[in-house]
Structure 1
């Protein structure tokens, strides 16, 4: 499963968990969250997933080493955000298999070197 698909799956799983959880402040079961913070976290999460999907689509339609690397970075960052936000909102963290074969710091260097110096 790709990092993007993992981020999407965590988003969906966390949404279901948040919808079914009890609100400890009011001692009631919440059907949909009305907490502005939770709502904004899901908005941020969805945008990160959508950006990663758009960059992946661009890399598929206009292949280049940089486009592919940008898509990999966005997907990895969406997954990192997903994992952290899942823990933040539910107190649980889904164990994720390693999804990157090399550190993100090298991927950022590839993109930066291309955009700054024109080097592939």
Structure 2
């Protein structure tokens, strides 16, 4: 995977949202409505963070790596939320891709260590 292409997790989150929408089709239930709103916002945030990372390409390698890590976190979180919503609203669960095998806690640590302590990720040094 090219480091600055759309993460698989974001594509999968979009797919799960679309398939869950097709299953539910229409609802007046405030919980269901807010659930779809939450998912759409999470996906949009992940996409915006990915666009930001792409815009940084060719500039600071450290800032680009941090921005990409932030996009990966948001994409993975959107996918997890979409998967949970799929199960809650349809009773089905699509298998999550192996892109989530990399623990998110390490990605949070990379971003936090850079923002708090100025320590650049090893892959960007």
Q: TM-score band, normalised by the shorter chain?
A: 0.7 to 0.9
Secondary structure, aligned partner of 2:28: coil
List per-residue Cα deviations over 1:64-119 (Å, max 9, x = no partner).
11001000000000000010111011111011221135211100000000111111
Aligned partners of 2:9 and 2:97 also within 8 Å: no
Structure 1 gaps, min length 5? 20-31
Tell me, yes or no, if structure 1 residue 6 matches structure 2 residue 12: yes
Decide which structure has the larger Cα Rg and report it: 1
Larger RCO (CA under 8 A, 6+ residues apart): 2
Please list, as runs of the form range in 1=range in 2, the aligned pairs for 1:72-91 lying within 5 A after superposition.
Answer: 72-91=72-91
Tell me, yes or no, if structure 1 residue 43 matches structure 2 residue 37: yes
User: Deviating runs (4+, > 6 A) in structure 1?
Assistant: none
Quote the Cα distance in structure 2 between the aligned partners of 1:100 and 1:44: 21
Structure 2 gaps, min length 5? 1-6, 58-63, 121-125
Kindly indicate which of the two structures has a greater share of residues assigned to helix.
2
TM-score, normalising length: structure 1:
0.86
Tell me how large the CA RMSD over aligned residues is. Answer: 1.2
